[in-house]
């Protein structure tokens, strides 16, 4: 992995199929009941009786990325692309994630580009990688670095460029309560990191489609 990226990511953040010590269904439902009481509501009233079960199920879906391996998604590549070796960008990959500080949504889109080195990957796999990392607790910086890191690691292209733009509900719904502010993050590896012109080309192509 690119040394600069590795430094940005805590070891635990770049985990493929992490081993988790999940609580039992009963434990998680009890925890949700406690949170319901914390809101000031009554978990025994009719409308809330099934809520702990629903929340437990929703959490498994929204945080399903812990059970998936982003590197595996990039395993299948193609070499028969008529010698194409220039920039490939998948832009406007919409995602929903949750911030690791408040566990409330981060809503945004990712733009991912890479310079192939003899092989390309199925375009949907890039969106799958974004989705897997987004379905974990995140900071935007880590999400950006993780997407770039795994593509660089597995495909070993000449460079990877990732730009993420997102709104953090923890800044909109609570705390400072600033609606509509957007956070932009980017990670560049290889040729993109070493060559500002490649960065400009990436950003220009992303913007050409009405992106960031
Ligand atoms: N760098 C970064 N910060 C984030 C992200 N998501 C949320 N935050 C910030 O994390 C910080 C947590 O700050 P704390 O002071 O520990 O928590 P807090 O009292 O809830 O902070 P406030 O949001 O300012 O009320 C806040 O400034 C959030 O805006 C992210 O993806 N990246
Ligand atoms: Zn937050």
| 72 in any annotated domain | no
Q: Please check the confidence at residue 193 and state whether its pLDDT lies above 80.
A: yes
Report yes or no: 188 and 144 within 8 Å, Cβ to Cβ: no
Please tell me if the CB atom of residue 139 comes closer than 6 angstroms to any atom of ligand 1: yes
| 68 in any annotated domain | no
Residue 69 labelled as part of a binding site: no
Kindly list the distances between the CA atom of residue 122 and the CA atoms of 47, 85, 89, 144, 191, in Å, as whole numbers in the listed order.
45, 14, 12, 20, 21
Calculate the average pLDDT of the chain. 91
Residues 6+ apart with CB under 8 A from 21: none
pLDDT in tens, 125-141: 999 999 999 999 999 99
44 shares a domain with 83:
no
ipTM of the complex, rounded to two decimals: 0.91
Query: Number of folded domains in the chain?
Result: 2
Residues 6+ apart with CB under 8 A from 161: 89, 111, 112, 113, 114, 148, 186, 187, 188, 189, 192, 198, 199, 202
194 shares a domain with 136:
yes
91 shares a domain with 56:
no
88 shares a domain with 51:
no
At residue 5 the predicted structure's pLDDT band, cuts being 50, 70 and 90, is: very low
pLDDT in tens, 143-181: 999 999 999 999 999 999 999 999 999 999 999 999 999
Of 35, 62, 89, the one marking the end of a domain is 62
Please tell me if the CB atom of residue 167 comes closer than 6 angstroms to any atom of ligand 1: no
The string of DSSP letters for 118-171 reads S-EE-HHHHHHHHHHHHTSEE-HHHHHHHHHHHHHHHH--SEEEEEEEEEEHHH
Please tell me if the CB atom of residue 150 comes closer than 6 angstroms to any atom of ligand 1: no
What number of H helices and E strands is found in the chain? Answer: 9, 7
197 shares a domain with 121:
yes
38 shares a domain with 106:
no
96 shares a domain with 45:
no
| 123 in any annotated domain | yes
**pTM, whole model, 2 decimals?**
0.90
Report yes or no: 114 and 161 within 8 Å, Cβ to Cβ: yes
Query: What is the domain range of residue 152?
Result: 78-208
126 shares a domain with 53:
no
127 shares a domain with 35:
no
Q: Return the ligand number nearest the Cα of 167.
A: 1
């Amino acid at each position: 992995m690119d040394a600069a990226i590795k430094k940005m990511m805590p070891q635990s953040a770049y985990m493929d199929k992490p081993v988790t010590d999940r609580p039992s269904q009963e434990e998680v439902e009890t925890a949700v009941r406690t949170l319901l009481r914390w809101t000031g509501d009554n978990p025994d009233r009719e409308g809330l009786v099934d809520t702990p079960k629903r929340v437990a199920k929703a959490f498994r879906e929204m945080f399903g990325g812990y059970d998936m391996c982003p590197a595996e998604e990039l395993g299948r590549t193609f070499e028969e692309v008529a010698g194409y070796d220039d920039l490939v960008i998948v832009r406007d990959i919409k995602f929903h994630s949750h911030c690791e500080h408040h566990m409330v949504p981060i809503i945004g889109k990712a733009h991912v580009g890479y310079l192939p080195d003899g092989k390309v990957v199925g375009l949907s796999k890039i969106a799958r990688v974004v989705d897997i990392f987004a379905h974990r607790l995140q900071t935007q910086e880590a999400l950006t670095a993780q997407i770039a890191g795994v593509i660089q690691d597995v495909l070993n292209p000449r460079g990877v460029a990732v730009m993420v733009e997102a709104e953090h509900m923890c800044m909109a719904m609570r705390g400072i309560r600033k609606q509509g502010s957007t956070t932009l993050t980017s990670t560049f590896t290889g040729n993109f990191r070493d060559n500002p012109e490649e960065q400009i080309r990436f950003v220009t192509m992303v913007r050409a489609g009405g992106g960031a």
